[in-house]
């Protein structure tokens, strides 16, 4: 037996979300799509223990078949409830991403990047001082590579945070942001030069 139910609540949620540009078009289409529930029942007929009340099997605006068990109806209601909760959670996350970023929070983002950058620079300095014959040379190469990649990732995250900044904040951090971009290029160039002069492999004995 196949039970097809389209929830009016989903259509309302999708319409409200669309007007606020919060959910994507794909999410809205998904929310408006009828749910199809396949229920496998026993071939053996059994009289219900209690008379079936239409209201107990009614879900939002549609009435389910009178033969649907209360357990199946409850399970489906729980499924829809969890789906709605997920949709509302995604909407809240999208709203949070649109919130302006405070001066204090933005300053913390820049400080975090500076810390990651300093760690990468320190790893490169360690690699520069070590010789290829050293026991931990390969480890230092791996550390330097990972630290530089981490610094680039942190800078991308910083740019994402700056999308929530206002014009005044963007102007205030313009020079610092450009300096960080220039310094990152220097890190990558220095890493490439070190690995070219001292490639991370050893000749066989």
What is the tens place of the pLDDT at every residue in 166-178?
Answer: 999 999 999 999 9
Whole-number pLDDT of residue 27:
45
52 in a structural domain = yes
Q: Last residue of a domain, which of 47, 68, 97? A: 97
C-alpha–C-alpha distance, residues 113 and 153, integer Å: 9
Whole-number pLDDT of residue 6:
44
Number of domains forming the structure of the chain: 2
**pLDDT at residue 5 is higher than 90:** no
Q: Which residues contact 166 (CB under 8 A, 6 or more apart)?
A: 100
| Beta-strand relationship, 35-38 and 62-63 | unpaired
Tell me: do 79 and 108 sit in the same domain: no
Integer CA distances (angstroms), 119 to 32, 123, 187, 200, in order: 49, 6, 11, 20
Domain span at 144: 103-197
> For 139-159, how does the pLDDT look when each residue is reduced to its tens digit (9 = 90+)?
899 999 999 999 999 999 999
Q: The pTM is what?
A: 0.50
The three-class DSSP label of residue 151 is helix
Tell me: do 8 and 91 sit in the same domain: yes
Average pLDDT of the chain, as a whole number? 70
């Amino acid at each position: 037996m196949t039970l097809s139910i389209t929830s009016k609540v989903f259509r309302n949620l999708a319409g409200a979300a669309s007007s606020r540009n919060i959910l994507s078009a794909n999410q809205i289409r998904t929310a408006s799509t009828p749910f199809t529930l396949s229920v496998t029942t026993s071939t053996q007929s059994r009289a219900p223990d209690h008379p079936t009340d239409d209201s107990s099997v009614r879900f939002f605006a549609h009435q389910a078949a009178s033969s649907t068990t209360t357990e199946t109806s409850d399970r489906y209601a729980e499924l829809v409830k969890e789906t709605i909760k997920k949709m509302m959670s995604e909407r809240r996350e999208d709203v949070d991403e649109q919130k302006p970023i405070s001066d204090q929070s933005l300053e913390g983002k820049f400080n975090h990047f500076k810390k990651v950058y300093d760690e990468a620079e320190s790893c490169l300095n360690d690699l520069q001082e070590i010789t290829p014959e050293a026991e931990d040379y390969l480890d230092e190469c791996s550390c330097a590579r990972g630290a530089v990649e981490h610094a680039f990732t942190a800078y991308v995250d910083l740019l994402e945070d700056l999308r929530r900044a206002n014009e005044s904040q963007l102007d205030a951090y313009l020079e610092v942001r450009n300096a960080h971009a220039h310094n990152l290029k220097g890190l990558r160039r220095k890493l490439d030069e070190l690995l070219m002069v001292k490639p991370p492999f050893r000749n066989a004995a």
